[in-house]
Amino acid sequence: MLGVNGDYTMKWEMVNIPDVLFFQEGPGVRNTQFTKKGVKLLNVGNINYGNLNLNATNIYISEEEAYGKYKHFLADDGDLIIASSGIVVDNFHNKISWVNKEHLPLCMNTSTIRFKSLNPNILSLKFFSYFLKTHYFKNQLSKLITGSAQLNFGPSHLKQIQIPLPPLTVQKEIAEILDTADALRKKDNELLKKYDELAQSIFIEMFGDPVRNEKGWEVFSFESLFDSRLGKMLDVKKQIGKTKYKYLGNSNVQWFRLELSNLAEMEFDQKEIETLNLKDGDILICEGGDVGRCAIWKSEMDNVYFQKAIHRARPRKDNILPSYLARLFWNFSKYGGFKDFVSTSTISHLTGEKLKTIPIPLPPIALQIKYDQIITNLNKQKNELTTITHTNNLFHSLLQKAFKGELT
């Protein structure tokens, strides 16, 4: 029986990733090389929720450079891609996606890695994609990963990771089972999107297009409405294990919701605990990745703090509601409201100083309260959809069993 660093035991041969896979990290294309048209440049911010969204960034390089200097970094149809920077290990499954013909031409960039099977008759790339979502992969990665404000890894780490290699027929059978479970999960999640679409249409009807401020609401700077600050930088060398607490990082903050399972931990001293506390109604805003992505803290847990990759925004007065700001930022993110405030030297990010200057259209508080009540009722209906939780849990249960050798 063979295993991975004692994490699990199974009947299959274990192999190192380089033995069965080609993998390549993108080059470090500088911002001075960016153009307004040409070949799209793939960035970490394009890989979210397991999907490849090329509209999330607007960065290109010239065709001359793409097909010249960087021709070996052009993605191919069928490539498996992952983000390798600004991630939380336990939520790494959101940073895995596929390249399809519709995405091409596409050039890799730093902190993105692509995979190809060296021999499809030996390793199914689909099988490997599911392995990347397991605890067995994440456990190995967590022992190798480095980083401070953002967690990073690269090809040198991947070379040290082992994967199970059952017969190809077993790989395909496992992938087929997981495809079926994943399809059920995605179908239910599509229903959730309908609620989000309804929330968006209600917002536009009540407040108008916030990017253009078509209803002419009075505008205030973010700083005048919110007290904000970044969290603590993670310094691995200073983690000596005495006062560790759970914290929120970039991947824990999704649009309108928080991923609170398996939070990472780091040390916070008493002063940091007092400064970086969370109060009911705080808005948590992503500095990088999907810039401006935010969710509202609703006192879900005790003794949880936040990392430097996150801005904590706290209303100064009672003239603005967190639910209004969260949907406002969603619109800014999707329709260009952040374009003049985001730095893109390497990875797109929203600094604390830039955040403070963002103009916020401010409708009457009575209208915001009405919107908040509608959204609260919609969320109650969403929470009653217990089948969605069931299919999500089913998928993750089957995923772990598959790589224990319990499905075949």
CATH of 2-145 given 3.40.1190.20, 3.40.50.410, 3.90.220.20, 3.20.20.140: 3.90.220.20
Q: How many whole angstroms separate alpha carbon 164 and alpha carbon 131?
A: 9
Q: Residue 237's pLDDT is what? A: 57
Rounded CA-CA distance 375/153 in Å is 39
Q: Is 343 exposed, middle or buried (0-12, 13-18, 19+ CB in 10 A)?
A: middle
Question: Measured between alpha carbons, how far is 364 from 374 in angstroms, rounded to an integer?
Answer: 16
Contact 83, 112 (CB under 8 A): yes
CA pair distance 307, 315, nearest whole angstrom: 20
- Which residues fall within 8 angstroms of residue 89, CB to CB, at 6 or more apart? 138, 141, 142, 145, 151, 264
| Nearest by Cα to 322 from 305, 297, 346, 304 | 297
Task: Please report the pLDDT score of residue 236 as a whole number.
Answer: 55
Alpha-carbon gap, residue 268 to 229, rounded angstroms: 16
Pairing of strands 13-16, 106-107: unpaired
Helices (DSSP H) in 23-158: which residue ranges? 63-66, 125-131, 135-144, 155-158
Mean pLDDT for back-to-back runs of 10 residues, the chain (408 residues): 45 92 94 92 87 87 96 97 79 87 95 96 96 88 66 88 94 93 82 86 96 96 96 69 83 88 84 93 91 94 92 96 97 92 73 95 97 92 66 79 80
Mark residue 147 as left, alpha or beta (left: phi above 0; alpha: psi -120 to 50; beta: remaining). Answer: left
Residue 312 CA to residue 272 CA, distance in Å, equals 14
In this prediction the pTM is 0.63
Q: Which residue has the tokens 């406002």?
A: 328
Helix/strand/coil for 233: coil
> What's the number of CA atoms in the CB half-sphere (13 Å) around residue 226?
27
Domain with CATH 3.90.220.20 in the chain: 2-145, 208-369
Q: Is residue 265 within 8 Å of residue 305, measured between CB atoms? A: no
CATH of segment(s) 208-369: 3.90.220.20
How many Å apart are CA 108 and CA 24, to the nearest integer?
9
Cα distances from 41 to residues 108, 180, 292, in angstroms, run 6, 32, 20
pLDDT of residue 294: 95
- What's the rounded Cα separation, in Å, for the pair 190 and 241? 42
Task: Assess contact for 219 and 360: CB atoms under 8 A.
Answer: yes
Q: What pLDDT is recorded for position 148?
A: 47
Instruction: Report the alpha-carbon distance of residue 271 to residue 234 in Å, rounded.
Output: 16
CB-CB neighbours of 300 under 10 Å: 10
